[in-house]
């Protein structure tokens, strides 16, 4: 008999982790959906965002200002990366863009190592304190991360649904040629989408930063998991990726009740393989008509 408290603790864990993962994955899926680019540098944008947060915190001493500064700075950097390294590759073999993002990843990692040194950095959490969740003291800050992630993703959803430029992005996703024919500046849409993806990765990095030692290798774990949820949710499907993040995180968390968390990761890979075998378009993607 599994104790009820263990199940509830793991559900809360799964939901919180799922929201952080959703924030990372939504940027990744947005970039893929619009540009057909598998962005291997996404985890490194997450890491660089966290580092920029520490720099900004040293100057301002305010976490929320640091979050905003890091997000804006990474958006600008995203513009530069896309314009300099990816825009010239538009329409080429997807392998070239994969290699380009892999190159960007190596550049960012080594830049972070050179600029910030190898020693982990600290970013203090803006909200301290705990509440009792059965047998564990749960930090309020983890709930703040989940809520902030939900707010950012919600903001993106509203922008995509009702904003003029959001409609441009959706139109470009649906039919690039037709969008261009209707006067939408498609190359610029690509650049801005990459900037939005980079900004979202940075937001996730800064929000997650206080729970870890910020280091140049922190993005790798998230990149791998984000790729799993993007495939399970449907490549390029924003809503699907968010649902898949929560689904996969909940599955993993509940599995830890019976097996070690290290073994629970297998659950997400089983879900990935099953998705590719049974429904390659993604579990949460609408059925093509």
Partner 1 sequence: MKLTEKWHDELWARDMWWSGKTTRRKFLGLSAAAAGAVGATMLVPAPWREAFGQAKPYKVGVLQPLTGAAAAGGKTALVGTQLATNRINKAGGINGRPIELVVADYESKPDVGRRKAEKLVVEDKVDVGEGGYLSNVCLACMPVFEEHKTVYMIGVCLDTTITTSKCNRYTFRPFDYAPSQAMAISPYLVKNLGKKWHIVFLDYAWGQSTRDAYIEQIKKNGGEIQGTTGIPLGTADMTAFISKITGSFDGLFAIMFGANAVTFTNQAYDLGLFKKAKYAGDGAVAESTHLAALGNKIEGFVGVNRYIPVLTKPLDTPYHKKFFDESKVLLKQMDPAGPDPDRYVQSNFEAMNFLKLGIQKSGFRGREDSMKLIEALEGMEVKESDDFPQGDKLLRREDHQAFLRQFIFDIKNVRHRLLDVVSRDKVVVPPACSFPKA
Interaction site with partner 1 (CB under 8 A): 9-10, 13, 17, 20, 109-110, 113, 117-122, 124, 130, 135-139, 141-142, 208, 210-218, 220-222, 252-253, 256, 260-262, 264
Closer to partner 1 at the Cβ: 224 or 273? 224
- In 3-state terms, what secondary structure has residue 24? helix
CA distance 35 to 29: 10
Instruction: Supply the minimum distance, in Å, between the C-beta of residue 183 and partner 1.
Output: 43
**Side-chain-facing half-sphere of 120: CA atoms under 13 Å:** 10
Closer to partner 1 at the Cβ: 154 or 213? 213
Q: How many helices (H) and strands (E) does the chain have?
A: 11, 2
Instruction: Supply the minimum distance, in Å, between the C-beta of residue 32 and partner 1.
Output: 22
Cβ within 8 Å of residue 174, ≥6 positions away: none
Burial of 107 (0-12, 13-18, 19+ CB in 10 A): middle
Instruction: Supply the minimum distance, in Å, between the C-beta of residue 184 and partner 1.
Output: 38
Selection from 226, 241, 220, 192 nearest residue 75 by Cα: 192
Closer to partner 1 at the Cβ: 95 or 119? 119
Neighbours of 3 (CB within 10 A): 11
Closer to partner 1 at the Cβ: 46 or 168? 46
Q: Are 44 and 204 in contact (CB under 8 A)?
A: no
Closer to partner 1 at the Cβ: 73 or 253? 253
CA dihedral sign of residues 54, 22, 263, 227: negative
Instruction: Supply the minimum distance, in Å, between the C-beta of residue 47 and partner 1.
Output: 10
Selection from 287, 268, 267 nearest residue 279 by Cα: 287
Instruction: Supply the minimum distance, in Å, between the C-beta of residue 264 and partner 1.
Output: 7
Closer to partner 1 at the Cβ: 81 or 208? 208
Instruction: Supply the minimum distance, in Å, between the C-beta of residue 154 and partner 1.
Output: 23
């Amino acid at each position: 008999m599994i104790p009820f408290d263990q199940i509830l603790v793991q559900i809360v864990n799964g939901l919180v982790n799922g929201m952080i993962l959703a924030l990372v994955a939504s940027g990744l899926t947005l970039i893929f959906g619009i540009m057909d680019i598998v962005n291997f540098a996404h985890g490194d944008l997450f890491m660089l965002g966290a580092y920029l947060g520490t720099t900004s915190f040293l100057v301002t001493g305010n976490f929320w200002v640091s979050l905003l500064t890091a997000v804006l700075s990474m958006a600008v950097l995203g513009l530069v990366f896309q314009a300099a390294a990816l825009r010239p590759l538009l329409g080429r073999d997807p392998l070239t863009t994969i290699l380009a993002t892999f190159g960007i990843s190596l550049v960012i990692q080594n830049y972070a190592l050179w600029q910030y040194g190898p020693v982990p950095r600290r970013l203090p959490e803006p909200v301290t304190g705990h509440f009792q969740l059965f047998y564990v003291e749960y930090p309020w800050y983890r709930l703040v991360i989940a809520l902030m992630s939900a707010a950012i993703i919600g903001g993106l959803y509203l922008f995509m649904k009702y904003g003029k430029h959001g409609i441009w992005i959706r139109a470009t996703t649906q039919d690039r040629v037709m969008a261009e024919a209707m006067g939408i500046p498609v190359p610029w849409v690509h650049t801005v989408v990459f900037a939005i993806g980079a900004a979202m990765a940075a937001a996730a990095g800064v929000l997650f930063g206080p729970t870890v030692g910020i280091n140049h290798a922190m993005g790798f774990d998230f990149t791998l998991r984000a790729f799993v949820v993007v495939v399970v949710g449907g490549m390029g499907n924003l809503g699907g990726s968010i649902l898949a993040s929560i689904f996969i995180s909940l599955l993993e968390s509940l599995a830890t009740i019976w097996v070690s968390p290290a073994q629970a990761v297998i659950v997400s890979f089983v879900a990935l393989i099953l998705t590719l075998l049974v429904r390659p378009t993604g579990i949460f993607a609408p059925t093509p008509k």
